[in-house]
Amino acid sequence: MKPALLILAAGMGSRYGGLKQIDGIGPNEEPIIEYSIYDAIQSGFGKIVFVIRKEFDEAFRSRFSKFESMIEIAYAYQPVQVELEGVDLVERQKPWGTSHAVLVAKECINEPFAVINADDYYGANSFKIMADFLSNDCSPSSMSMLGYILENTLSEHGTVNRGVCELNSNDELIEVIERTKIANVNGKVEYNVGEEGGAELKPQASVSMNYWGFHPSIFEHIENGLHAFMKAHSQDPKAEYYIPNIVTDLINDGILAVRVIPTTDTWFGVTYKEDKPMAVAAIAEQIEKGVYPTPLWG
């Protein structure tokens, strides 16, 4: 059974709300998300599942239906308001976070699967690495995360937040430590830049860019964890249950080992408008190396 790729796209509604295409970074205006789809197809994934807002279903289908001849496409919807029996939940403006986004795809996925963000570029080789793990090593007790090199994920135009990974001697995840306001300052990578309590980070530190490899058994764990979280935060309209929350809980309970698989691929997202030329140049370099054809879909 080929692995699936779960693309978290529910946060992209504002772009699709006006039926606007995602900013093109390829020479023929290809957006980042299409490079991820291309890489997934080339790496042997058999299905792509988009998590979106239901109100943008038509816009997504009109844009991505062209890929249905190449790979199975499915859609799952992440609602803002949810119900939990016996719990009075406050009205919310945003959904319950990335763990909730994964959970809504439960009915679409029965095979090992990867999780990525829709508007981030992860690198062609990273998809090959993940597909190999999902096809050969993934199990209910062994899942994975791609570990990117911190200095390969920074922006030249402002600070970024990153989840810095603490690993054991077997390169398994112990904890993801959120560090904020990270930037390269005078040749050193520092966090809390411009604030008290800042400190230096190792440029080669492994960081999580939300690229996970899961066995479908994760859904039951997320459901149990999310329900407990919702009960504890029922009156907090901004509380969110993130993927590292459930992963850390399962690691601490001895239920799960998460292998951190290193990748030297350069990750990028267009965090600032000034980042776009860098993204355009990075894709152009990959095309020049022969990683991608142009136009992408020939």
Domain locations along the chain: 4-146+207-288
Q: What percent of the chain has pLDDT over 90?
A: 65
d(CA 167, CA 177) in angstroms, rounded, equals 11
Length of the chain (residues): 298
Q: Using CA of residue 40, residue 45, residue 47, residue 49, what is the dihedral sign?
A: negative
Q: Would the pLDDT of 223 be above 80?
A: yes
61 or 105, which is more confident?
A: 105
What lies within 8 Å, CB to CB, of 271 at 6+ separation is 155, 157, 158, 160
pLDDT one-digit tens code per residue, 200-220 = 999 999 999 999 999 999 999
Check residue 213 and report its DSSP letter: E
Check residue 240 and report its DSSP letter: -
Q: What is the pLDDT of residue 243?
A: 93
CATH fold label, 4-146+207-288: Spore Coat Polysaccharide Biosynthesis Protein SpsA; Chain A (3.90.550)
pLDDT one-digit tens code per residue, 42-95 = 999 999 999 998 888 888 888 898 999 999 999 999 987 877 777 888 788 888
pTM as predicted: 0.92
